[in-house]
Amino acid sequence: MLTVTRRVVLAGTVAILAASGIAQGAMAADPIKVWHHGGRGDGERERMEGLIKEWNAKNPDMPAVLEIQPEGAYNEQVQAAAASNGLPDLLDFDGPNYANYVWSGYLLPLNDLVSKATLDDVIPSIIAQGTYAPDGKLYSLGMADSGLSIWGRKSLLEKAGVRIPKGPADAWNMTEFEDALAKLQKVEGIKYALDVKANYGQGEWFTYGFSPIVQSFGGDLIDRKSWKAEGAINGDGAVKAMTHFQSWVKKGYIAPASEGDDTFYGKKTAALSFVGHWMWPAHSKAFGDDLVLLPMPNFGGKALTGNGSWCWGITKTSKQAKNTAKLLEFFMNTKNVGDFSTAMGGVPAVKSAAANVALYKDGGPLNLYLQQLNAGEGYPRPAHPAYPTITAAFAKAVADIIDGKDVKASLDAAAKKIDQDIADNKGYPPFGK
């Protein structure tokens, strides 16, 4: 006879499977286990639950079960599961972390698992993000990409006498950008020329948001051939970029973290907002037809945008990799990517979906993000096993530079921390060879 505890466990399992759309008759099949970070209360979890339920209704012979893991400690959950041989079949993770997972032996290459038709439909920036430098193979796919741009108000730009670029090929250069900041700062009612989301705090935003400025100046977070930080993150390009950045702070152009999130769309005391697609709902509600999306400036050799988002990989411990690949193809099909983009706002990750997404189709209000990525302006964060150290070190340097500390010394400290981590791990072979 079952104990009460045993009954509860079984009942809970049945409830999870039923919620995923798995009929009890199909429970004999080993379900494809899927881990997801759940999103941030924006409906992403519900979207994924819906996709799993639809998959199970169509594929009762290879059912899937969704498990939500807390986003705040997600990487720690993955590491713990890997140590105990408890990884799922399909793993969700933030884009830059995949290189550490590949190097650690967690993921399978997707090239021979996912169909050529699916891969050919994926936008170049997603392929670039998921391609592992040492072997050139693809290990991750995401349903959405992201990007950076500058939001403004047509009426305000015209009042200040600032040219409004028409697209990526017409972007401001460095001189124009700083001239625009100076002019906008003088407009009545404007306290800050630029909101850079300093309120997001020291973390991944500082790397995602500000490393494209460094890269546009010709610098980088790490040399992508030698895989050393010295001479890259603290090289001439990076120092020049962050010196300009600090000058914007010192001149009072940038809204400080203490001002909160809404200087652009709420208080309307910031003239421009440097941020991504996720602010479309708040910005469009605030300004309607007066809202304008401006391309990333060309600070140096080329205009560049951050890109990447949460994505999927198939684990090496999966005993049903082929079936898991079919589930991944289902996630990546035209309809599902289009629906996901419409609901969540991210850049659709397959070419065939864009025409079905009102925000991103030709003439759509967010089509600029797709234009930038298709023009090759997406620059993935370094796909290296030391990425957790790279991003933490650069974010610390950015925070120090905002606080007025010496730019070169701050970047030197970042280079030292990164290269020490790499040395401690004997270069993370085969990187650096």
- For position 358, which CATH number holds? 3.40.190.10
> How is 358-397 classified by DSSP, letter by letter?
TTTSTT-TTHHHHHHHHTT-B-PPP-STTHHHHHHHHHHH
The DSSP 8-state label assigned to residue 302 in this structure reads S
Query: Could you tell me if residue 432 is inside a domain?
Result: no
Domain identity same for 244 and 318: no
Asked if residue 138 and residue 10 are part of one domain, the reply reads yes
Q: What is the reported pLDDT for 6?
A: 28
Question: Beta 32-36 vs 90-94: how paired, if at all?
Answer: parallel
In the prediction, which pLDDT does 95 show?
84
**Domain that residue 169 falls in:** 148-307+382-424
DSSP letters for 188-250: TT-SEEEE--GGG-SSHHHHHHHHHHHHHTT--SS-TTT---TTTTTSHHHHHHHHHHHHHHH
Per-residue pLDDT of the chain (433 residues; tens, 9 = 90+): 333 222 223 233 333 444 455 544 444 468 999 999 886 656 788 999 999 999 999 999 999 999 998 877 788 899 999 999 999 999 999 888 899 999 999 999 999 999 999 999 999 889 999 999 999 999 999 999 998 999 999 999 999 999 999 999 999 999 999 999 999 999 999 999 999 999 999 988 999 999 999 999 999 999 999 999 999 999 999 999 999 999 999 999 999 999 999 999 999 999 999 999 889 989 999 999 999 999 999 998 889 998 888 999 999 999 999 999 999 999 999 999 999 998 888 999 999 999 999 999 999 999 999 999 888 888 889 999 999 999 999 999 999 999 999 999 999 999 999 999 999 999 999 997 7
Q: Is residue 255 part of a domain?
A: yes
The pLDDT value given to residue 27: 47
Residue 169 located in a structural domain: yes
Whether residue 276 lies inside any domain: the answer is yes
Same domain? For 250 and 283 the reply is yes
Q: Are residues 197 and 332 in the same domain?
A: no
Q: Are residues 238 and 320 in the same domain?
A: no
Please report whether residue 392 resides in a domain. yes
Q: What is the pLDDT of residue 17?
A: 47
Same domain, 212 and 90: no
Strand order in the sheet with 270-276: 192-195, 270-276, 148-153, 291-294
15 to 27, 120, 306, 311, 353: CA distances (angstroms) = 12, 38, 41, 27, 34
- Per-residue pLDDT at 374: 85
Residues 103 and 164 in one domain: no
Q: Which residue has the tokens 């440097």?
A: 274
* Burial zone of 215 (CB within 10 Å; 0-12 exposed, 13-18 middle, 19+ buried): buried
Same domain, 171 and 312: no
Provide the residue type at 432 as one letter: G
Are 113 and 140 found together in one domain?
yes
Amino acid residing at 7: R
Residue that terminates a domain, selected from 374, 393, 415: 374
Report the number of distinct structural domains present in the chain. 2
Identify the pLDDT of residue 367: 94
Specify whether 20 is located in the same domain as 100. Answer: yes
Is 181 found in the same domain as 94?
Answer: no
Asked whether residue 431 is domain-assigned, the answer is no
Q: Quick one: 251 and 397 in the same domain?
A: yes
